[in-house]
Chains A and B, each alone.
Chain A
Amino acid sequence: MPQFSVSASSKSNCCPLWLIWVLLGLSAVHTHAKDVLGVPQQVSLSPDRFSRQLSISWLGGAATTFDLMILRTELNESVFYETLSVNPVSGQHLWNWTSAEPLECTSLSIKVRSRDGHMTSEWSNTQILRGNDLPSNDKCQVYPLDRVVPVGANTTFCCIVEEGKVFDDLFYSGAVMNTTRLSRRTYAGTVVNQGPSSSSGTNVVCYNSLRAKEPCGTVVFVGYPPLLSDFVCETHDLISAVCHWTEARDTMLYGKRRSSYSLNKRDCLQRGQKHKVCTVDHWEGNWTLVAVNFLGQYSLNDSAEILNRVHLVAPTKVSSVVNAWNATVLWQWKYRSYSSLRLVCQVELTCNGTKTNLTVSGVGLQSVVLSDLYPEEDYSVQVRCGAQLNFWKWGNWSEPFTFKTDTYVPEAPDVWIWMNRDNTGRIVWKPLTRRQSHGQITGYEFTLWSAEENVQHTQIFSPGTTAAPINLTQIAAFSSDKIIATIIAKNVKGSSQPASVVVPLRLTEPIALSRAVYTERGFPMTWQSDANATCGHVVEWIDAVCTRDCSVEWIKVAAGQTNVSVVSANFQPGVRYIFSLYSCSSEGRELLQRQQGYVQELVPSSSVLLSTSQQNSDVLLSWGEIPLLNRRGFLLGYNVYNSTGSELKLLVNLPDKGNRSYTVKGLSEGSHKFTVKAYTSAGEDTGATASITLELYADWLILEILTSLGITTLFLVIVSFICYKKRKWVKKAFYPDIPEPKLPGDWSRRQGPLDVKPSSHSIMHIVEKPEWDSSKEALVVIPEEDEDEEGQGMGDEPVDTDEPTSLSYYNQVVDERPIRPRFPDSSDSSASSLDSARTDVTYTGIQTSGSSLVFQLDSQASAEGHQPHADMSVNGGGGGDYRPQMQARAPSDDIALVSPEPFIEAASGGGYKPQSSWHLDSPVEGEESGGRAPSLGSPTSVASTQFLLPDGEEDTEERRQPSSSATTWFTNLLSSTKP
């Protein structure tokens, strides 16, 4: 409330009055202001639920600024609160508000107040827009319903849960949405950038906590507004219009939501999904096409004169009039208006898959003549036409129409002749193709005739025949020098022109073959122009392997042409072909060239046949030629490899110049493996491998041995010669004179027998064997049992046969000289020594173990006066003495004739001493010396390896002797040579 005061002063009476007036004025203004900012009245709501738009109108007096507040009623949440400037229209203020959520989702409370600057009126009465979440509507609901939205749009969906249920999830196309709560039962979620949906739309499903039971939902269709292209109108009948267009983009909306079309504001019924057609009964010249769907519309325009848009329909009732080489095709038109129209027509003729196009023109065209056809051939024809003037487009093709041309006489066959080397041959001709036969061939007529004599011989062949054999010896019946072979083909329409070839009565001498090279165009062949070749040239080719009745192919070249490239579908890689060029004249053919070549060379299909042979330390490899069939290319040479393990080592490359052998030199002993591979320009074959084991060269070995022996012999001869020349020196050096021992008394005659006492462990019995066969010189083993049984002189001394015995023996001196007393004569001694060198050793080093041996005495012993020597057994006493068993030359009967001089038993336990002298011991001497067994001869006659020593002190030496016997002997030898 404005406050004011009144003053009583006279001087200043006017001032309080002025102040009062001011205050009154202000109060009045304030009161007026309060009257202008009235509360908006008659607030009303007009919702558009489809567009989620809410129109709010009110009466607000003169105010133009208002505060508008929109709240969600249940939760009292503010959705919208803004100050608006709204101009009244007919006194009413109107404001449109678009909700983010569908208006059905929840109730909204709307109130308005006027505003003037900072002054505002009271709020209007709250107006409530009721949602569908009221308790009275207790069912589950999802909004918006069946909405159509463009692709990429954002849509907010809300779910009103069934009364008493708890919200769980809101799904969009199976995916859970993020939701916010709008009211007690309402939850909302927004989907952004929606993708196109399927024809049945995208499901939005709301679940309560009991998920499996009774979900509710809605469907949203997401698509595109229409987009069209290729809109054009044309006429078929020159009266009506047919307009076409294409749906450039699928709207993804179907059923009631699909696009609808109108042409010049007349509805069009479309056919098909993408290409649309609409027909108008009369040509209007200008057309407007409009396409509309829930999301928008699209329009296209077209305009044209009717004669510029003539699209003829397909010809109908096609027929034909057929001959052998041509045919006339006829058709009719659906519309009579075509009869005055100048047309251009395209005829497509198909024969054996090959299409030929023919274009004809004319007014109202209804037929076309097809020429250059082949007899007895199937053809298919289609026709389409267009307006020749202001050509717009070709009309539709007629249905295919087929016809067959008539039969005609066949063409003349292509004939040639092949001659073998034995005056036989074949007239060959190429089978006529379908195009050449002009109908079914019924047969061939073959004629040999002589023009000069007018003699002919005719044969008929079946249709499948392509060759007729000829024999020049039979043709010899024709006396003419010129025989012509003629072939005529026949069919139902008649005979062909005759095809002739002159039969060569003399064999053509082969000429040298040159190399033909295959190129992309075939085998090129060139030749000089020949005026005599009146009927051109012929190139024939055969497989080079063939020698008789070959499958010949040929090509005929017209006269005047000087080259040709030979191509054949029968050419095979790896096959050698021989090409022969003939000139053709009325007199026959003449061979001009011969070439051979491959279409493609391959590696040989087989290997060479490889053999090996040893030549000293070398190996000769030789192999055969690869058969022509298997070469599959021109052989360039051979590669010789040495196979070591899995590797091949190239030894040599041999160019193919006829040489098919190679010698591998300098090989060592052992096994060697060699591989030979032939090669062409395509490469090597698999190779032939042969192994050989080199053995030592025997001749050379023998030569080496002989050489060594010769050298050795020569050396010995030289040594012997030198020794002979220097024999005195040798004698002096190696055999000096032995001085006569100087002994007191006459020791020379007291030289008794050498008492040999064998080791106690070695007992040898010299057994006298009465039945001894003197003719057999053998050592007889006498078992101990025998000894026991005989008991001859066997002492009681035990015979130990277990221990190895030392060698005990006598040396039997062979001396043919009469026994004579030994005198200390150095010459005798020397001679004795020399004699001893010629003394045969009767036995040496015989060692037994518990066996008694029987020794054969050398026959020379008898020469010493002991003859006849009967078998004398020396019964070994206890000492085991033994003597060599003398071999008697005379039978035992002789014993009686000659008083035997028995061997004296060796005294038991008696040994023998080292020979105290080199005098010969003889049995005689033994006898003279008191029945002692004859002693051995001089040591020089002994080839013994050991000296015999008695028991006793000699034992120790005997034990040392094996290790030093050679040294001792050599020492003795040297010492004996000392003067």
Chain B
Amino acid sequence: MNGRVQRMSFQQFMELTTTLLPLLLVMAVDSTRTVAASSSNQQCGNSLQQTLKLTRLAQKESVLLIKTYAAQGEMSELFCKVSVNDVPDPNISGLEPSERIASIYTHLQAFMAHFKRVYEQQTDLQLPSSPLLGELTVVSARSRDLAALMNGFYQSLFPNLPMPEPAGGPTMLPPPQNVFQQKVYGCAVLRTYKEFLSNVARELRTLKGKVCRRRMETNTFLLRMT
């Protein structure tokens, strides 16, 4: 009697164990991957937050630069309103986040080329001690840093997607200009850049709630599929 009872208990235990073990294993693995996904999402948020902070800093510096630029000559506040064709579009293109992030990156690259041109032109018009040249250098460097951050952010989000080349090919710079055109062009570049940075900041805030969450969901989905 006792021996049977013992056998029955052992068999029931083994059956229960056989039933529960896979479930426990699945739960353990799922838990681990959820933690990993959560960590990755946090990293995404941090990277985005860092990029957003740098964007805001660049935005402030660009505002100051425009003020300095406008203060260097009479009536500059008027011809600063002239629209120039050769300046990059401040709007971010693309539908998918990857496209929009890539658009930000390519825009930044384009602006860096324009900053270089503006710096060259202003070197001919400013004294070496002019604050305008120094601020131009800072804004240009900040644009480069922001581009690097955007590139890293893109790579972290879409590691398997290479950064697309600019659609229009290499950055188109304006043809040789007279001094008045240079002044108008320089101001247009700075003004457009400031507007572009506003758009970038807005875009990054949108991406924060969109990309990082989606990434988490994607990771969870992929894990469950496995």
Contact = CB atoms under 8 A, between A and B. Distances in A.
7 contacts: A198-B72, A199-B126, A201-B179, A205-B75, A217-B180, A219-B183, A254-B127
B125 interface: yes
A200 interface: yes
Contacts of A213: 81
B82 A203 contact: no
A255 B125 contact: yes
A336 interface: no
Contact of A254 (B79, B125, B178): B125
Contact of A200 (B78, B82, B126, B178): B126
Contact of A215 (B73, B78, B125): B78
A200 B180 contact: no
Interface string A212-226: 111111110000000
A143 to B, nearest CB: 10
A203 B187 CA distance: 14
B75 A219 contact: no
B82 A146 contact: no
Interface string B117-139: 00000011111001000000000
Contacts of B79: 203, 205, 215, 217
Interface in B83-138: 83, 123-127, 130
B74 A203 contact: yes
A145 interface: yes
Interface string B169-190: 0000000001110010000000
Given A145-B178, A255-B125, A200 B75 contact: no
Contact of B127 (A199, A205, A212, A216): A199
Contact of B75 (A171, A201, A255, A256): A171
B74 A174 contact: yes
A173 interface: yes
Contacts of B76: 203
A255 B73 contact: no
A146 B177 CA distance: 10
A203 B80 CA distance: 13
A212 B75 contact: no
Interface in A159-182: 171, 173-174
Nearest to B125: A200
Contacts of A942: none
Interface string A179-207: 00000000000000000001111111100
B124 A203 contact: no
B75 A146 contact: no
B180 A199 contact: no
A146 B83 contact: no
Interface-centre pick from A142, A201, A202 (highest chain B CB count, 10 A) = A201
B136 to A, nearest CB: 14
Interface string B56-82: 000000000000000011111011011
Interface residues of B, number: 20
A940 B171 CA distance: 156
Contacts of A142: 180
A571 B124 CA distance: 68
A393 B169 CA distance: 63
A142 B180 CA distance: 10
Contacts of A199: 125-127, 130
A255 B124 contact: yes
6 nearest CB pairs, A to B: A255-B124, A219-B179, A200-B125, A174-B74, A217-B180, A145-B178
Contacts, number: 65
A215 B123 contact: no
Interface string A361-376: 0000000000000000
Contact of B73 (A145, A198, A214, A256): A198
Contacts of A202: 74
B120 to A, nearest CB: 10
Interface in A234-267: 254-256
Nearest to A200: B125
Nearest to B72: A200
Given A199-B126, A201-B125, A255-B125, A218 B180 contact: yes
B81 A200 contact: no
A65 to B, nearest CB: 42
A216 B130 CA distance: 26
A137 to B, nearest CB: 15
A256 B123 CA distance: 9
Contact of B183 (A198, A200, A255): A200
B192 to A, nearest CB: 16
B82 A215 contact: yes
Interface-centre pick from B123, B178, B179 (highest chain A CB count, 10 A) = B179
B78 A214 contact: no
A203 B180 contact: yes
Contacts of A204: 180
Contacts of B127: 199, 254
B141 to A, nearest CB: 23
Given A146-B180, A199-B130, A205-B78, 6 more contacts: A202-B74, A203-B74, A215-B78, A215-B79, A215-B82, A219-B178
A199 B73 CA distance: 9
Given A201-B179, A219-B179, A212 B81 contact: yes
A174 B75 contact: yes
Contacts of B183: 200, 203, 219
A173 B75 CA distance: 8
Contacts of A215: 78-79, 82
Contacts of A201: 73, 125, 179
Contacts of A214: 82-83
A703 to B, nearest CB: 102
Contacts of A145: 178-180
A146 B124 CA distance: 12
A254 B124 CA distance: 7
B179 A146 contact: yes
A125 to B, nearest CB: 35
A791 to B, nearest CB: 128
B117 to A, nearest CB: 15
A173 B179 contact: no
Interface string A65-81: 00000000000000000
A494 B144 CA distance: 71
A199 B133 CA distance: 13
Given A173-B74, A205-B78, A219 B180 contact: yes
A346 to B, nearest CB: 35
Interface string A143-154: 001100000000
A198 B73 CA distance: 8
Nearest to A144: B178
B73 A203 contact: yes
Contacts of A217: 79, 180
Contacts of A174: 74-75
Contacts of B83: 214
Contact of A256 (B78, B82, B124, B130): B124
Given A215-B82, A255-B124, A255-B125, A203 B178 contact: no
A204 B75 CA distance: 9
A198 B72 CA distance: 9
B115 to A, nearest CB: 18
Contacts of B178: 145-146, 218-219
A257 to B, nearest CB: 8
A217 B181 CA distance: 8
A755 to B, nearest CB: 134
A254 B122 CA distance: 11
A173 B73 CA distance: 9
A576 B184 CA distance: 82
Contacts of A205: 75, 78-79
Nearest to B121: A255
B47 to A, nearest CB: 41
A213 to B, nearest CB: 8
A200 B187 CA distance: 14
Interface in A108-149: 142, 145-146
Contacts of A173: 74
B69 to A, nearest CB: 10
